[in-house]
């Protein structure tokens, strides 16, 4: 009886592989098999994205970061033209493999997962009004001030939390918000540090970049599809941590800010890319 039982166990062990669960998806091998790494890109979003209208070639911080990952994977970079509003949806639907320069929020984490930070960004107010300079968020949170912001952005969320008593003019596009600030309809424009530096250089009448206290910094991460396997998630976060900590991302940033005449000396005192 015992011999027969052992024999049955032996047969079961041999047959077990037939009933084994299918192998888990391997995102990296899927990307290598396809031969391309797909990312969303947005027109006229320097220093993150820039598309040459004559050659249709893309450049910018995100292109540099994504190109480095594509190089590690030994694949080509594939650009999918999109928008900030649709980039997360592109990741969620599987249209792209990852989306850079994504601000991780609780709401967004319900749709996609986020890597470790690639760098840290700060929220600022670009204004030509000298009265804005040196003030705290609490001091600017007053009906005496009117600020412009592009609706649905991470900076828009900041106005709800830190400027609930101020007058906020919300626009569909950043360009509309810039017009409001330069024509006097608003005292300034709420945005992020690197966007603010570029806008200030491009449109001097917009004013200077002000960093209200306390400094509000947020991690900029890479958005990934929740169905991605652990190998892919670990690889992307490892890339982000390594290149942030050894200064590669900082170098990429400064190279893409240089065409606008922006150098490390233009960054706010105490700002750090890594924390």
For residue 114, the Cα-to-chain-centroid distance in whole angstroms is 10
Both tokens of residue 45? 């979003």
Question: 167 with 104, same domain?
Answer: no
Q: How confident is the model at residue 110 (pLDDT cuts 50, 70, 90)?
A: very high
pLDDT digits (tens, 9 = 90+) for 50-63: 999 999 999 999 99
Report whether pLDDT(22) > 80. no
Both tokens of residue 182? 């330069």
Question: 113 with 226, same domain?
Answer: yes
Residues 144 and 167 sit within 8 Å (Cβ to Cβ): no
Q: How confident is the model at residue 16 (pLDDT cuts 50, 70, 90)?
A: very low
Average of pLDDT values for 256-275? 86
Report whether pLDDT(98) > 60. yes
Question: 43 with 167, same domain?
Answer: no
Report whether pLDDT(1) > 80. no
Between the alpha carbon of residue 28 and those of residues 48, 62, 66, 87, the distances in Å are: 25, 20, 14, 20
Q: Give the domain-ending residue among 210, 235, 252.
A: 210
Torsion of CA 166, 169, 175, 181, to 10 degrees: -50
Question: 51 with 102, same domain?
Answer: yes
pLDDT digits (tens, 9 = 90+) for 137-147: 999 999 999 99
Is residue 7 a part of any domain in this protein? no
Report whether pLDDT(13) > 90. no
**What average pLDDT does the structure give for the chain?**
89
Both tokens of residue 188? 């300034």
Residues 150 and 173 sit within 8 Å (Cβ to Cβ): yes
Q: Give the domain-ending residue among 193, 210, 227.
A: 210
How many domains does the structure of the chain reveal? 2
- pLDDT for 78: 98
- Widest distance between CA atoms in the chain: 94
Report whether pLDDT(214) > 60. yes
Cα–Cα distance between 228 and 236 in angstroms, integer? Answer: 11
Residues 83 and 151 sit within 8 Å (Cβ to Cβ): no
Report whether pLDDT(236) > 70. yes
Looking at residue 265, the DSSP 8-state letter turns out to be G
Q: Give the domain-ending residue among 172, 190, 210.
A: 210
Is residue 11 a part of any domain in this protein? no
- pLDDT for 154: 83
Question: 167 with 227, same domain?
Answer: no
Is residue 204 a part of any domain in this protein? yes
Report whether pLDDT(9) > 80. no
Cα–Cα distance between 255 and 253 in angstroms, integer? Answer: 5
Question: 31 with 112, same domain?
Answer: yes
pLDDT digits (tens, 9 = 90+) for 186-199: 999 999 999 999 99
Strand ranges (DSSP E) for the chain? Answer: 36-41, 50-51, 58-59, 76-81, 99-103, 113-114, 119-127, 146-150, 167-171, 188-192, 208-210, 217-224
Give percent above pLDDT 90 in the chain. 74
Is residue 65 a part of any domain in this protein? yes
Q: Which domain holds residue 260?
A: 27-119+219-266
Is residue 22 a part of any domain in this protein? no
Is residue 87 a part of any domain in this protein? yes
Is residue 8 a part of any domain in this protein? no
Question: 32 with 50, same domain?
Answer: yes
- pLDDT for 24: 52
Torsion of CA 265, 268, 270, 275, to 10 degrees: -100
Give the list of residues 6+ apart from residue 268 with CB closer than 8 angstroms, or none.
122, 193, 209, 211, 215
Average of pLDDT values for 230-257? 96
Question: 203 with 190, same domain?
Answer: yes
Helix 248-257 / helix 230-245 crossing angle, nearest 10 deg:
70
Average of pLDDT values for 144-155? 91
For residue 106, the Cα-to-chain-centroid distance in whole angstroms is 15
Residue with tokens 């800010």: 257
Question: 54 with 114, same domain?
Answer: yes
Its pTM stands at: 0.82
- pLDDT for 271: 80
Question: 107 with 152, same domain?
Answer: no
Question: 77 with 138, same domain?
Answer: no
pLDDT digits (tens, 9 = 90+) for 197-211: 999 999 999 999 999
Report whether pLDDT(244) > 90. yes
Question: 158 with 232, same domain?
Answer: no
Is residue 88 a part of any domain in this protein? yes
CATH number of the domain to which 114 belongs? 3.40.190.10
């Amino acid at each position: 009886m015992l011999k027969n039982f052992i024999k049955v166990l032996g047969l079961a062990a041999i047959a077990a592989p037939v009933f084994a669960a299918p192998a888990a998806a391997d995102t990296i091998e899927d990307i290598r098999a396809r031969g391309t790494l797909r990312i969303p890109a947005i027109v006229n979003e320097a220093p993150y994205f820039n598309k040459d209208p004559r050659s249709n070639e893309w450049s910018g911080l995100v292109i540099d970061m994504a190109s480095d990952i594509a190089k590690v994977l030994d694949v080509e970079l594939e650009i999918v033209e999109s928008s900030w509003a649709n980039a997360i949806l592109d990741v969620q639907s599987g249209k792209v493999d990852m989306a850079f320069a994504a601000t991780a929020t609780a709401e967004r984490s319900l749709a996609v997962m986020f890597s470790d930070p690639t760098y840290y960004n700060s929220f600022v107010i670009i204004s030509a009004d000298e009265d804005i300079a040196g003030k705290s968020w609490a001091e600017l949170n007053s009906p005496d001030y009117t600020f412009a912001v592009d609706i649905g952005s991470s900076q828009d969320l900041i106005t709800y939390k830190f400027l609930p008593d101020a007058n906020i003019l919300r626009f569909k596009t950043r360009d509309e918000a810039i017009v409001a600030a330069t024509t006097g309809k608003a005292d300034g424009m709420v945005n992020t540090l690197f966007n603010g530096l570029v806008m200030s250089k491009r449109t001097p009448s917009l004013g200077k970049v002000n960093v209200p206290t306390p400094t509000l910094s947020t991690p900029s991460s890479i958005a990934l599809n929740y169905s991605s396997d652990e190998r892919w998630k670990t690889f992307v976060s490892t890339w982000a941590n390594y290149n942030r900590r050894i200064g590669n991302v900082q170098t990429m940033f400064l190279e893409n800010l240089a065409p606008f005449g922006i150098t490390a000396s233009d960054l706010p005192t105490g700002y750090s890319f890594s924390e």
